Amino acid sequence: MSTPKVISLTYELRSGSSEGEVIEVAGKENPAEFLFGVGNLVPQFEDQVKDLDKGESFEFTIDSENAYGKTDPSAVVNLPRNVFVVDGKEADDLLFVGNMVPMRDQNGNPLQGKIIEILDDTVKMDFNHPLAGHDLHFKGEVLSSRDASKEEIEHKHVHTGKDGH
């Protein structure tokens, strides 16, 4: 594909297979729009969908190694509980098992961590991508496809709405 495309599609994403747990759904009332051809997407997802036309269906599975990778045990860490102290008070609204917490790594880069255990002095967090370790099964239909604008290509995302974003 030479010119990057904006593709609008419906899909159902399941873990592992067509019978797996539903992870995410984008229906016709709220379809997903992706910018294909600029490196934003899992390459195998892009390869499967990029050449489809309006009305064409798709169904495929991407193994975890080619999606978000295997779960990395070293990405599960214990942080001192005082990391969650804001203005001298523990941030109770953040501290609960299952919560996704925006944080920064040692270089200041943003990352998300999921709280998996809260102990007296530490909080165990998982910094793996939420879909790491999952084979991803997609089933859906292309609703529309168009060439991306120069600005969309430059900004590496789809522009919609009044302000273009």
Tell me the percentage of the chain whose pLDDT exceeds 90: 56
Task: Output the pLDDT for position 2.
Answer: 62
Domains defined for the chain, CATH in brackets: 5-68+134-155 (3.10.50.40), 73-126 (2.40.10.330)
Q: Mean pLDDT, to the nearest integer, of 66-78?
A: 94
pLDDT at 38 exceeding the cut of 80: no
Q: Which of 61, 65, 3 is nearest to 36 (CA)?
A: 3
Pull the structure tokens for residue 132: 């790491």
pLDDT at 149 exceeding the cut of 90: no
Task: Output the pLDDT for position 55.
Answer: 95
Contact 6/148 with Cβ under 8 angstroms? yes
pLDDT tens for each residue of 78-113? 999 998 888 889 888 889 999 999 998 888 888 999
